[in-house]
Structure 1
Amino acid sequence: MSATHRAAIRDKVTEILRAGVAEAAGRVFRARTWPLQGGDYPGYLVYGWEEELKRSGGTAQQTYFEARFLLAVEARVSDESTDAEDVEAQLERLTGAARDLVLTSPELTGGDTRMIERFDAVKTTLGIDTRNSELALGRGLVVFEVVWPEVFETARPEPDCGCEESSLAFRPVPASPAP
């Protein structure tokens, strides 16, 4: 379930950002590489890179784990000037919107159809590169520590009963007469 579940979480977060951040709606990608050109900013990348399973209990037949997954939402902006303050303000807006939308999404944490149990941590890092005198590039990274339970069952072979295949036949039973 883990790999598929992680992918489903990333897909849902991508969908949430596309619907919720008009400024970057057409530029939210479920990838770790940046598929944009110079004029395609601002935009988001949604990816994950680390999962950890910690045993939380179990029996001989079932083992219970707490799955922890680091989900990254990376925002990138560029400005045609070297005004780092404008780039920083745009990064603050985009990372703040991503954080708020993900943390308050009922699809992720609400109701019976929730995808995760909880968020244990959120870390935001902003960076601005002004080494090129013509362009200020901004990158903001929001990392969510996502937690959900998982159960693994031990596969047991069916015991050999030493008998041939059996079949079961049903026969109609007449109803008893009404009194």
Structure 2
Amino acid sequence: MNKPTAEEEDQQALERLQESENKAPAQSRPHKDAVVVEGVDNLMTHLARCCQPIPGDQIKGYITQGRGISVHRADCEQLEELSHHAPERIIDTVWGSGFVGSYILTIRVEAMERGGLLKDITTLLTNEKIKVTSMKSRSDYKRQLSIMDFDLEVNNIEVLSRVTKRIEQIKDVMNVKRLG
């Protein structure tokens, strides 16, 4: 049996990712006491999809109409927009002791196009025990770039920081950033 080419290895890695997409998604809702609003108990909270906050991020709350508190990263562009329209609805929030489980967020990897790149990234994520819930890839042929978005399941900001630093060290990777 011949050794697979780098392109074949990338295709196999992509197929494994697509198989894992069909599994149940992570718990992305905070548990009781996951987010604490100063001086108030038992508020309904949910994590904003726009910025995907995870434990360790600086966070702020936005009082919604009928849906409790929407929790955003403090640097969220949408939260900034909301604060211009209704600054009285922005409240201080912090992570409590009740956060457990996993959170899903998206990272973008920009790298020089080459065979075996996807395999290198997915191998690293596997070794770090990071679950990939989905992945999108596109090529910028003029600049010979591969742009890949990975939805990752992580527990906190420290895990995310470690993984992004490791991905940045992969050959031909130019940039890794968190989206949202």
Same fold (TM over 0.5): no
Larger strand percent: 1
Q: Which has the larger radius of gyration?
A: 1
- The interval holding the TM-score normalised by the smaller chain is under 0.3
Give the TM-score normalised by the residue count of structure 1.
Answer: 0.26
Higher relative contact order (CA 8 A, sep 6+): 2
